[in-house]
Amino acid sequence: MTKNSLSAAVGAAVFALSGCAAHSDAGPPMSGLPQTQDVALESPVIDARVIPLTIHVGFDHGEHTDRTFGPVYFYSPLVSGTAQVIRVRTGSKVVFVNDDTSGIPHTASGFGPTSFPAQFDNKSGMRRAGTTINSSLTWSTGTLLHGQRSQTFTIGARGHYFFGCAFHYTTRPTAVNGSMGDVIVSM
């Protein structure tokens, strides 16, 4: 095919596509648009029942105000980028890794299913405990030094589980206080 006949073919394809798009305008009006905005505001549900999900821990992730849970800090399923509420399928497996570029130690420690507590109230804190993320106040990664990975946790029954860092959780996170807490949603 010569260059000219190729561009002619591409032109025809573009014309066909735009004809298609014009035709679909007659269908349900803009049904995709609000859905797309919802996904952007609430983190997507991740299925990690077969391959464990890495949850990255560090100040690099900053603050994010979740539509359902409000401000959360410093935990993310993304290597870089903003903090997120972790939404996963029930039975998923997760591993926390401290890859904070500042080199500071952190933990992820459960606060139960009700709300962020007024102060850190996990029973294990800097000691590694448990392998299930559930409504207890006992599961914890223990202290994760820079580069360390936690034990593998299995996500328990449907619900939402608040958690935070034994070193950097001060009180309920607000958009400005930098209190290191987040939520795992099992769904």
- Contacts to Cu ion by CB under 5 A: 106, 165, 167-168, 180
Residue of 154, 159, 157, 153 whose CA lies nearest to 141 = 153
Can you tell me the distance from the alpha carbon of 186 to that of 161, in angstroms, rounded to the nearest whole number?
8
Min. distance of Cβ 58 from Cu ion in angstroms?
8
Task: Decide whether 94 or 165 has the Cβ nearer to Cu ion.
Answer: 165
Alpha-carbon distance of 135 to 113, in angstroms, equals 5
Place of tokens 């994760």: 144
Rounded Cα distance between 1 and 36, Å, is: 40
Nearest-approach distance from CB 14 to Cu ion, in angstroms: 52
Min separation Cβ 47 and Cu ion, Å: 28
CB of 44 to Cu ion, least distance (A): 25
Strand ranges (DSSP E) for 13-168? 45-46, 53-57, 63-66, 70-73, 75-76, 86-88, 93-98, 109-112, 132-133, 153-155, 159-164
Report how far residue 187's alpha carbon sits from residue 184's, in angstroms, rounded to the nearest whole number: 10
For the beta carbon of residue 33, count every other beta carbon within 10 angstroms: 8
- For Cu ion, which is the closer residue by CB, 138 or 167? 167
Of the two residues 43 and 141, which places its CB atom closer to Cu ion in the complex? 141
Query: Which CB, 112 or 164, lies closer to Cu ion?
Result: 164
For Cu ion, the closer CB: 90 or 143:
143
CB of 88 vs Cu ion, minimal distance in Å: 21
CB of 106 to Cu ion, least distance (A): 3
Nearer to Cu ion, 148 or 167 (CB): 167
